[in-house]
Amino acid sequence: MAEIQLRNLQKRWGDFVGVEGFDLTIADREFLVLLGPSGCGKTTTMRMIAGLEEVSGGEIRIGDRVVNDLEPKDRDVSMVFQSYALYPNMTVYENIRFPLKVRGVDPASHDEKVMRAADMVELREFLHRRPAELSGGQRQRVALARAIVRQPNVFLMDEPLSNLDAKLRVSTRAQIKNLTHDLKVTTIYVTHDQIEAMTLADRVVVMRKGKVQQVGTPTEIYDRPANAFVASFIGSPAMNLIDGQVAEGTFTADGTAISGLDLPDGPLTLGFRAEDARLAEFATQAEITAPIYTIELLGDAVMISVRIGGALVSVKADKSFRAEIGTPVSIHVPARICHPFDADTGERV
């Protein structure tokens, strides 16, 4: 049983607060992603769970043990780092085997365990090589095999794909998803890449400036962001956010009038996703009318952007759509697809 409980977790360096009031229970075998921009506290949180960073306050419980004062080696966790952290003078076989030697596992079982781990990440034919002879993707797989080999209670993965090119990220991401499904081990994964978070996670924790902004399944966070920050961070492209005013159920901004909103009068930030809106055939059907600012061919669709006040607003059109920059377009944005946020706090209304 490897349920993890974090209770009022804190990390400070003098007056600087790195993580504040982090409360969460991570279920046994859950794949949890800590997501946020650089400096938000996600890696610090993981390092405190691993024992690589001292806790300033709060409690960490793994299974039935409080581990605040335990050394990293006594917490039964395995880490996969962004930098791979392989031993250059050892072969792939010896790199994978190393955790078994350090922990005093019966040498008679080493070969079987190493081969099993190597097969899971498709490395058997590379076992005789040294890290310098491998590609970046192969080195990352060695790091995964080394974490797998001793069958820990918890996997901790700190941005393991950020050094890989786009194609390798996709294939290695799929491999991690498949591995964690087969191994059924509680996994905490740190990333700033929202696509990784959405595709890998059972639940996502969105962080900002050391604080948790929202916890939920990828679908919950995508469909109902708790505040404007989460809305702007999740999605590709991010949610459109327009600052304006509501009066008698109608939201207005430059070139924009969206009616049928059940909201109080006053300033408001209104959001909607590019794929939920559509181009209107006639201007009379449109809530937004503005000239095209940019147009991008995506292959399966065309992304059109217009400028509303200080914001760029995007909408997806059919892949056959063609127009020049500066051409006026009409966009249909029904009230039912809109997400209202407080203009001052950013919280969902």
∠60-61-66 over CA atoms, to 5°? Answer: 90
Quick one: average pLDDT of 199-222?
96
- pLDDT, position 67: 95
Q: Which of 3-7, 83-87, 183-187 is least confident? A: 83-87
Quick one: average pLDDT of 33-48?
95
Confidence bin at 166 (pLDDT 50/70/90):
confident
- pLDDT, position 1: 59
Quick one: average pLDDT of 303-308?
96
Structure tokens at 316: 């997806």
Q: Which of 74-78, 160-164, 338-342 is least confident? A: 160-164
Rounded Cα–Cα distance for residues 143 and 158 (Å)? 12
Rounded Cα–Cα distance for residues 344 and 269 (Å)? 9
- pLDDT, position 19: 97
Rounded Cα–Cα distance for residues 229 and 173 (Å)? 25
- Kindly report the average pLDDT of the chain as a whole number: 93
pLDDT in tens, 62-72: 999 999 999 99
Query: Backbone dihedral region of 96: left (phi > 0), alpha (psi from -120 to 50 degrees) or beta?
Result: alpha
Residue 335 in this model has a pLDDT that exceeds 70: yes
Confidence bin at 211 (pLDDT 50/70/90):
very high
Domains of the chain: 4-231 (3.40.50.300), 237-342 (2.40.50.140)
Rounded Cα–Cα distance for residues 287 and 60 (Å)? 50
pLDDT in tens, 307-325: 998 899 999 999 999 999 9
- pLDDT, position 83: 77
Confidence bin at 182 (pLDDT 50/70/90):
confident
Task: Say which residue the tokens 């001292």 belong to.
Answer: 54
- pLDDT, position 244: 96
Q: Describe the chain by its helix, strand, coil percentages, rounded to 5.
A: 30, 35, 35
Residue 13 in this model has a pLDDT that exceeds 80: yes
pTM tops 0.85, yes or no: yes
Rounded Cα–Cα distance for residues 199 and 173 (Å)? 8
Residue 284 in this model has a pLDDT that exceeds 80: no
Q: Which of 117-126, 252-261, 303-312 is least confident? A: 117-126
pLDDT in tens, 216-225: 999 999 999 9
Alpha helices in the chain (DSSP H): 42-50, 92-102, 110-120, 136-148, 166-183, 194-200, 218-223, 228-233
Rounded Cα–Cα distance for residues 68 and 216 (Å)? 26
262: buried, middle or exposed (CB in 10 Å: 19+, 13-18, 0-12)? exposed
